[in-house]
Structure 1
Amino acid sequence: MKKRYLFPIIFAAIILIPLVVSGVRYFMPVPSGVSYESEEYKTDDVSFLYDLTYTDNKGTITEEQEIFEEVYTMIDEAEEFLVIDMFLFNDDYNHDTLDFPPLSQNLADKLTAKKEENPEMDIIFITDGINTFYDTYMPQHIAELKEAGIEVIFTDLSKLRDSNPLYSGYYRTYFQWLGSSEEQWLVNALRPQGPEVNIRSYLSMLNFKANHRKLIINEKNGLVMSANPHDASVHHSNIALKVSGDMLHDLLESERAVVNFSGGNTRVFSDFADKLPKKTEDSEGQYTVKLITEEKIKDNILRMVNASEEGDILNIGLFYLSDRDVVEAFKAALDRGAELNMILDINQDAFGNEKNGVPNRPVADELTKHDTPANIRWYKSSGEQYHSKFIMMEKDGEVIFNGGSANFTRRNLADYNLETNMMVTAPADSEFAGEVTGYFNRLWTNEGAEYTLDYEEEAEESTLKTILYRVQEFTGLSTF
């Protein structure tokens, strides 16, 4: 009798133990200092920047690039320290069929030159394991940073909550003990020409988690952006927010938290904070700014949308939209009479590969068929992505803007990925409000060029894709 039940018991244990692990890791608290919301600060010093790729009236593909020019300026201007946190920092793409400027190497060269000029200045570069294909190899440009004396910290993704619990429970129970390896014998899915990778790398990748932040801080300014220093992303359209003043203390603290749980030296962050201007209790300025990370980004999105009423305008530009709470809040805002205008990426281009339009196409189909439909336009792509991530509301003589690294997806907004956004509240007649509303209106109305397409040109009704999106969003079995 005992032998009869032994196999079912062992089999049940093999299945159930990972499910218990999944549940624990799915609901566990985030590391200390993550999911952060700063106090609000007053300032006159906030700037809006963007990169834009579009087809002009002569049919020529044109680029306006501001963001990494500002990154390079901040590196040049730094005198005391630099803290950089970047997700994609590599030249991974199919080099046989595509060719892009060496953005990742250019940034590395800029940083190593800065360190050579100022050998005593601390430079900390925080990044994600995807750039080494999860500990399989060390890219040359990152090795050069280390050789120059720049501290490179790879985020310890194992400390983050698991967004893909159906897989991650089994990974944590059985596969993570295999460790990492530099053996190379499988085709690299991110860069087919190599270097090759191994099964352990793929097992790690399937957790679908990331430090997705994109920012740079020196003793004078902070820049929070949606752009990656990734060669194949160089032509993407992105946005960024630059700020100075008291909020720099909070930006440093949010990065200290990542360094802390990733095993880095956090003592130097106290020295960095001492080199910032002292916080002022009676700060003045026409703009109100706030730092938000991870789920606090979602909290503030929902707070903004839920406060919208008839006559208010919500303008949104997104690479990915899928979070169900946000989608339902949008529909409720439409029911209250708010105007909802959205520019979405078509989700068809990914570094030379074709995507299936999920999640944006099924979500757009849902919102345009709502009783009070949303106004949606598609960004016209020439192979690049509309990679911006922002929402703004025009209400009662002011503009409230929330933008940065976070896509509006469950993975980006529910304390799984690491994300950093900024919120800015500005008078409607201010320079900042004019910059952000002017940017959106330019794209919405195709002022001077063809930036966006009518919704009907790329509309798609697909029950299969709707089911796929809802299953992927709910389970975490996706990269969005």
Structure 2
Amino acid sequence: MANKPRKQWSKRKRIIIGSLGVFALIYIAAIMWHTFKPLPEGISYAGDLHKTDQIEMITDLTFAQDQKGKGMVHENNIFDEVYTMIDEAEEFVVVDFFLVDGYYDEKEDFPKIADTLSTTLADKKKENPDMPIVFITDPLNRGYGSYENEWFKKMREAGVEIVYTDLDPLRDSTPIYSGIYRTVFQWFDIGGKGWIDNAMASDAPKMTIASYMTLLNVKANHRKAVVTEKEAMVTSSNPHDASGFHGNIALKVSGPVINDILEAEEAVSLYSGGPELPRIQAEESEGQYEVQYVTEKKIVDALLKDLAETKEGDKVWLGMFFIAKRGIVNELIDAANRGVEINMILDPNENSFGQEKSGLPNRPVVQEMVEDTKGKIKVRWYNTVIGQYHSKAIWIQTDKQTVISNGSANYTERTLDNYNLESNLRVVAPNDSELAGEMEDYFERLWNNEDAMYTVDMDEFQDEFTWWQRWIYTFQKAIKVTTY
């Protein structure tokens, strides 16, 4: 009889081990499939190069007259241009923005971008009830199903068609967590009324456990674009009040490239249950610029090719919020070592919406790039007294042409390896063109602190760099658990 309990325990042990083994296989299979599965049709898009003479650069800048924040100035132009585009539209309006809300805890008088944009679109629809107005956005703006925020409610009630992007068909960028989510968490109905504090701000609507479980997958429709029948804008800025003092860059274009943008946006709309989008009548024409719409991994594919073609004597300006993508880092190091002049203006990653940050990923990446080029790559940090240097732009000039890429995409794996949805305009311009000169003047203004304290020396923040920042950065990259 004494052997019977042992046999029962041995049998239970085999069942437990077998069950764990089956779960492990399912878990690994879920990770592998959702990391490498096919993308929805139309995602990771590269349009044709279209000639045009109509490209305009628009910027937002917040800066101080000195490093301590005295004499604060806000040059906000991007959303004023967005409102004008909407007001002047006669046939349709399509917008795609990642973050749209007015919740924040900081004690700042931020511009009311979310309210102004939502009111502008709602009024446009009321005045033109038959005009298609479509707003594609990220489910972050409804707390991943916990609530409908007041700005989207206002637009929806006016008749604006809201399309919340379905993130589930996209690949998983945090496989360790997402494997568990896909295997276990997503099957449980643990919704109900929100009761957990919102991470965005204390006055934002509360969220459910299920919503937080979805949030932890850290994936997004991060695009930022506005399209009408007359023109289109691709930008790095969000209609989010607390982002109102960020530094951002937008490019506004017209012509046949508008249809490429609409085609790529329609792919997101359709697979998310939204409508087909309109097109414009536009014929190819001559022009000094060539412009191309690129999304997701097609952004980095084009960029790596453009950087690889640089040679000694060429020049690169980079203005970026996050830089960590290995291929881009390596290509910039190689370019600097063969004699390309590379100047980078970066956000110090010191704060985010009032919360202190650790300097990742930019500071360890800067340390590596400066060391590996023996100081050939030059870096200045934006003087972020308020907000962030949120721009995502590069300017590459050879003896033949200037290539510009600007839009929503940070230089990270999450944004450029077909995880997030991202959008950029790639422009090929003559070296003596107005756009090429205007962007170079913009970077030189910031680099040289021509009329204010825009940037500070690299050592201002890099002196705080420690070995643990590089260790944490390397560890996070290895296990793919980051928010950038």
Same topology, TM > 0.5: yes
For the residues of structure 2 that align with 1:433 and 1:189, how far apart are their CA atoms? 40
Counterpart position of 1:378: 381
2:336 maps to which of 311, 334, 337: 334
Counterpart position of 1:462: 466
Counterpart position of 1:226: 236
For the residues of structure 1 that align with 2:401 and 2:74, how far apart are their CA atoms? 30
- Which piece of structure 1 moves more, 230-239 or 101-110? 101-110
Cα distance per residue 1:43-87 (max 9 Å; x no partner): 101111110111136930101111001100100110000000000
> Contact (CA 8 Å) 2:60, 2:76: kept in 1 or not?
yes
Q: TM-score, normalised by structure 1?
A: 0.95
Cα distance per residue 1:263-309 (max 9 Å; x no partner): 1122xx2xx21xx12333xx211001111000000111111111111
- The amino acid that maps onto 1:24 is W
Counterpart position of 2:355: 353
For the residues of structure 1 that align with 2:253 and 2:179, how far apart are their CA atoms? 40
Counterpart position of 1:448: 451
Q: TM-score, normalised by structure 2?
A: 0.95
Matches within 5 A, 1:271-310: 272-273=278-279, 276-280=280-284, 283-310=285-312
> Contact (CA 8 Å) 2:103, 2:203: kept in 1 or not?
no
Counterpart position of 1:168: 178
Cα distance per residue 1:398-445 (max 9 Å; x no partner): 211011000000000000000000011111111111111111111111
> Contact (CA 8 Å) 1:313, 1:394: kept in 2 or not?
yes
CA RMSD of aligned residues (A): 1.4
Give secondary structure in 2 for the equivalent of 1:75: helix
1:344 aligns with 2:342: no
- The amino acid that maps onto 1:181 is G
Counterpart position of 1:235: 245
1:263 maps to which of 273, 277, 284: 273
Counterpart position of 1:55: 64
> Contact (CA 8 Å) 2:231, 2:258: kept in 1 or not?
yes
Cα distance per residue 1:153-208 (max 9 Å; x no partner): 00000011000111111101111122573412212121223422121111000000
1:122 aligns with 2:132: yes
Matches within 5 A, 1:49-198: 49-56=58-65, 59-94=70-105, 97-179=107-189, 181-198=191-208
Give secondary structure in 2 for the equivalent of 1:7: helix
- The amino acid that maps onto 2:99 is L
1:412 aligns with 2:423: no
Counterpart position of 1:475: 479
Counterpart position of 2:5: none
- The amino acid that maps onto 1:51 is D
For the residues of structure 2 that align with 1:31 and 1:179, how far apart are their CA atoms? 26
> Contact (CA 8 Å) 2:62, 2:386: kept in 1 or not?
no
Counterpart position of 2:7: none
Change (3 A) 1:289 1:185: same
- The amino acid that maps onto 2:223 is R
For the residues of structure 2 that align with 1:2 and 1:15, how far apart are their CA atoms? 20
Number of matched pairs: 471
For the pair shown, which has the larger CA radius of gyration, 1 or 2?
A: 2
Q: Using the TM superposition, give the Cα deviation of residue 475 of structure 1 relative to its aligned residue in structure 2, in angstroms.
A: 3.0
Give secondary structure in 2 for the equivalent of 1:25: helix
Gaps of 5+ in 2: 1-9
For the residues of structure 2 that align with 1:248 and 1:334, how far apart are their CA atoms? 35
Q: Using the TM superposition, give the Cα deviation of residue 116 of structure 1 relative to its aligned residue in structure 2, in angstroms.
A: 1.3
- The amino acid that maps onto 2:47 is S
> Contact (CA 8 Å) 1:26, 1:162: kept in 2 or not?
yes
Give secondary structure in 1 for the equivalent of 2:328: helix
> Contact (CA 8 Å) 2:191, 2:209: kept in 1 or not?
no
For the residues of structure 2 that align with 1:205 and 1:180, how far apart are their CA atoms? 14
Matches within 5 A, 1:239-258: 239-258=249-268
For the residues of structure 2 that align with 1:368 and 1:279, how far apart are their CA atoms? 47
Change (3 A) 1:125 1:146: same
- The amino acid that maps onto 2:476 is Q
- The amino acid that maps onto 1:30 is L
- Which piece of structure 1 moves more, 346-355 or 204-213? 346-355
> Contact (CA 8 Å) 1:294, 1:415: kept in 2 or not?
yes
For the residues of structure 1 that align with 2:431 and 2:169, how far apart are their CA atoms? 42
- Which piece of structure 1 moves more, 165-174 or 403-412? 165-174
> Contact (CA 8 Å) 1:411, 1:476: kept in 2 or not?
no
For the residues of structure 2 that align with 1:98 and 1:167, how far apart are their CA atoms? 36
Cα distance per residue 1:232-255 (max 9 Å; x no partner): 000000000100001001000000
For the residues of structure 2 that align with 1:191 and 1:299, how far apart are their CA atoms? 37
